[in-house]
Structure 1
């Protein structure tokens, strides 16, 4: 029988729709829409409290998201991901995937999607994405596909994989446990895996070939060419390349590396090679050739000072002015290392200067000229003293070097945090928070760098989504929607009944929360099965699958929010790519359930 929803339920539905429309139109920033949503809920519940509550209870509900464990978990995961990046712990995995992407971009993306799907079947979705997210951001910086074209497909693959087993997500366990409470037999880990595997085969071409084309390129192109620095690279004593021809290793080096006066014959320890390349290219060449571009005693002193003062090593670009004492000097005669304790890694000479005086290749050291740009490494205080004393102009683009000595430590913290959450020893909120604290205590992430790890947009969006989810549940809006849906399902064929339940739960999970969708949807599906004389299990599975179809909004699941800042995504990006995937998965899963259960 049709019933009229309560005033609060109508208001909750209206606020949700208004927020969705504001996000989709994109005329106001995500932060403003999120804060306005929280404000409307707070003011509305203060003057018109829910039944049995007071005005201050409404304020607590509206602002509860800022202290919610889900927000704390997301922030902790961001911090741990930052720890992996700043220590360089993910560089080996990034270099492997980079080689695959370098061989073929499409093959690299396919391998990545399959890897994400397989991992998330046995490990909770959030830790899997936290592991993969920094790798793909790093790959984008290395010249692979831009992060905006890979992160949403990657997230979708993780979510589909998590759907495949009862332990894939906490929501799956929640639905299964509620079903047992309703009198159904328990489901095994791989009870419905074959259904999801077939659906994944249907969805994979969309994730791989279509979804990236629907997303824009968020890379910021440089205004001009990247600076190329000339330097001498000394082969290390323990280099595995000793005795090999240079031609045999060229394929392993970055494309922008150029050898000046390439040596004939095999490479020898301590041999100095004149090379040029971008900053990133030089770093990769040093790693591959196991060599250095500055005297080892200077580099060792910088590292010792960094460890003793607990300061990060920074690399800066500095332009030589007409008043500098370095003019017409070479690096060996400049005394820079002795005077300031910094190391010059290379010299960039503007094209107009190269045109005036062509670069010699007879082995002479380059003499410093006005307008040259020095790539200098050291501690902040020493770099500032060098620039001030020798009349150098510090340019934009300074960056801190990875603290590679803590790479294994940060990786161990991440693995321990994820492992304890995956086996159910601790909730993900506790293990993530403990991991973030350990990142701070061990120095993998510094307190004054936390702002770089966190995103204000994600924080206020999470807080708003939690508030909306609570008001939808507490106002009775979710229950009323379920009751109204059950009235019309009695006239539909089984496949449409399954699809309707799945879509209803999908709407709840994309605008409220997975837990709300599971809690509300599972009893409704069980009652509908009883009223229509249908087997209960496929309808319960429709709820479980619907809870995982959270692709259409960033507020649907915490992994959606984790990728939002890194991919520079807008609300409409999730709608444009997620709605077709929701429709595709709903259709496929409904048909597979009908076939599997002979409905």
Structure 2
């Protein structure tokens, strides 16, 4: 048995335990706990430096996470993901998956998890999640299952798939390389794939049916009933409405969209129809039908001005106050488009004003106090309109996608992912280069970058890197490994495999995958020699354990990528990840025993 750990090793283990408890209890925010952890490391190592180091070395270690390549990679990936969202580059993929989800949401989730897991077998898991993340967020916005209920299962599916091949994650390559240096034969790409696929079949029902039920609904869009806007649809000659009947058209449109003028015959070019729906359903219906709810000339002018001035087109909701000159006017008589260069897309009537007052000649709706206007335009024009005509701007405005740059944003993202996937560039360099191109080409604007980055994720990554280095350099990891080796000699093979896997899982969830692989692989090799067990299954136990990083957000960079989008807390990972870790450890240990006849 090993002797007592050093003072620094005991302090490192105590600090890690305290950080874990603080995260799990949730009384302090993630940012505060992370910053306190960094502060304790900095102050502690300044007054009690590690052997053969200076006090200032401890400060460098504590704050090294803020300049670490892993943090830079995560930030760059977030920026590229933001570029795909604001340009609408992934809308076609979102609509395809949306059609599948409409058949049955549960089937859609299962199919999505299967696709994610398969792709991560042949492409590094981080790029796969980066590509899928904005698609799932977009699906949630379109009415599918909330992102907070799907992103952790999606991440777990990606990690399970990445575990199945030697090229699935960089950690797998590291373990295989260390094992080869220790004298073991080289493993091919699909050497242990059948074992992982069998374990995945056991775990997938949990990911699919149980995990979403354990996660909260953190979406905000459904907390209040979305407003329905009424407007007049112009049917141009090229519209999909022309020649189709009401029943034929409604089959293609969103469920919360309606055409209020129901006719028995086919629609004709030049018709003006009363329609209603939420902002999202109106947008989707107009895209499908190729119709217009605002004069084409003002929409074209807004887009030309946006391109010339390099500004985003916004859609805002504005309330008509008692002092507004618009009261009792219609949109056609208000002169809004001519005066301000903005387009009103629809009018929402409060419940007390559901009886529309229409102009007897044109049929247009008269504007009343309390109405909510859905207005599109550039920021300056919208602000002038609100101030001059006494309108109150509501929160929750939406920036229209810059679709002219959608192809460019997709090319940058897929180019970066491709270069990293085939190994031509490290993921950090590929992601950073992609983020720079997103800025240089205008796909992402500098003044909008704050929306892509999460302060919570940034300080959490920095704290996790610091704590991982302290665990390794203080000797805590080596002491734990020695204690593990001393206690395994009387256990059966299955228990030995499970213990090694759990030990590596503990390291990977609180330090890093690289630390777990570097420490765990030689330990497993030596334990196999000491106990007379085959080396390969114990090395695979280390490899699998390095990938069981489901229980904490600091375990792997993909865990951190989904944290902000899902609005997750530390407890969400712990509650859903621990059962999955236990399922995978038990299944993989049993499969290794059966496969190698131990």
TM-score range, shorter chain: over 0.9
CA 1:432 to 1:361, structure 2 compared with 1: closer, same or farther past 3 Å? farther
Count of residue pairs the alignment pairs up: 598
- 1:448 corresponds to: 447
3-state SS of the aligned residue for 1:469?
helix
Asked if the contact 2:254/2:284 (under 8 Å) is kept, the reply is yes
- 2:569 corresponds to: 570
Q: CA deviation at 1:238?
A: 3.1
Q: CA deviation at 1:99?
A: 1.9
- 2:367 corresponds to: 368
Report whether the alignment pairs 1:338 with 2:338. yes
Report whether the alignment pairs 1:378 with 2:339. no
3-state SS of the aligned residue for 2:315?
strand
CA 1:297 to 1:508, structure 2 compared with 1: closer, same or farther past 3 Å? same
- 2:139 corresponds to: 139
Deviation larger for 273-282 or 201-210 = 273-282
Asked if the contact 1:318/1:373 (under 8 Å) is kept, the reply is yes
Asked if the contact 1:506/1:549 (under 8 Å) is kept, the reply is yes
Deviation larger for 209-218 or 258-267 = 258-267
Aligned-partner Cα distance in 1 for 2:360–2:209? 47
Aligned-partner Cα distance in 1 for 2:362–2:149? 45
- 1:503 corresponds to: 502
- 1:439 corresponds to: 438
Q: CA deviation at 1:322?
A: 2.9
Aligned-partner Cα distance in 1 for 2:357–2:529? 86
After TM superposition, list the pairs within 5 Å mapping 1:3-402 onto structure 2: 3-220=3-220, 224-355=224-355, 364-402=363-401
Q: CA deviation at 1:540?
A: 0.6
3-state SS of the aligned residue for 2:251?
helix
Q: CA deviation at 1:265?
A: 2.0
Q: CA deviation at 1:271?
A: 3.0
Aligned-partner Cα distance in 1 for 2:424–2:224? 52
3-state SS of the aligned residue for 2:354?
helix
Aligned-partner Cα distance in 1 for 2:72–2:206? 33
Deviation larger for 455-464 or 220-229 = 220-229
CA 1:8 to 1:125, structure 2 compared with 1: closer, same or farther past 3 Å? same
- 1:489 corresponds to: 488
Aligned-partner Cα distance in 2 for 1:537–1:110? 33
Aligned-partner Cα distance in 2 for 1:360–1:496? 81
Aligned-partner Cα distance in 2 for 1:364–1:75? 52
Q: CA deviation at 1:130?
A: 0.8
Q: CA deviation at 1:337?
A: 1.2
Q: CA deviation at 1:217?
A: 1.2
3-state SS of the aligned residue for 2:505?
helix
Deviation larger for 285-294 or 515-524 = 285-294
Q: CA deviation at 1:361?
A: 10
Report whether the alignment pairs 1:557 with 2:528. no
Report whether the alignment pairs 1:586 with 2:595. no
Q: CA deviation at 1:358?
A: 6.5
3-state SS of the aligned residue for 2:319?
strand
Q: CA deviation at 1:343?
A: 0.7
Q: CA deviation at 1:394?
A: 2.0
Q: CA deviation at 1:359?
A: 6.6
Q: CA deviation at 1:118?
A: 0.6
CA 1:204 to 1:19, structure 2 compared with 1: closer, same or farther past 3 Å? same
Asked if the contact 2:120/2:161 (under 8 Å) is kept, the reply is yes
Q: CA deviation at 1:241?
A: 4.5
Asked if the contact 2:230/2:274 (under 8 Å) is kept, the reply is yes
Deviations 1:302-338 (CA, angstroms, capped at 9, x unpaired): 0000000001111112222333222222212222111
Aligned-partner Cα distance in 2 for 1:362–1:134? 47
Quote the RMSD (CA, aligned, Å).
Answer: 1.5
CA 1:554 to 1:224, structure 2 compared with 1: closer, same or farther past 3 Å? closer
Aligned-partner Cα distance in 2 for 1:192–1:475? 34
Asked if the contact 1:65/1:462 (under 8 Å) is kept, the reply is yes
Q: CA deviation at 1:451?
A: 0.8
Aligned-partner Cα distance in 2 for 1:198–1:431? 33
Q: CA deviation at 1:256?
A: 1.6
- Relative to the length of structure 2, the TM-score reads 0.98
- 2:427 corresponds to: 428
Asked if the contact 1:313/1:378 (under 8 Å) is kept, the reply is yes
Deviations 1:30-50 (CA, angstroms, capped at 9, x unpaired): 111111111111111101111
CA 1:3 to 1:221, structure 2 compared with 1: closer, same or farther past 3 Å? same
- 2:530 corresponds to: 531
Deviations 1:133-183 (CA, angstroms, capped at 9, x unpaired): 111111112221111111111100000000000000000000001111011
CA 1:429 to 1:236, structure 2 compared with 1: closer, same or farther past 3 Å? farther
Deviation larger for 156-165 or 328-337 = 328-337
Aligned-partner Cα distance in 2 for 1:96–1:456? 33
Deviations 1:521-544 (CA, angstroms, capped at 9, x unpaired): 000011111111111111110000
CA 1:223 to 1:293, structure 2 compared with 1: closer, same or farther past 3 Å? same
- Relative to the length of structure 1, the TM-score reads 0.97
- 2:472 corresponds to: 473
Asked if the contact 2:359/2:366 (under 8 Å) is kept, the reply is no
Aligned-partner Cα distance in 1 for 2:272–2:357? 22
Q: CA deviation at 1:223?
A: 6.0
For structure 2, the residue ranges without an aligned partner over 5 or more in a row are none
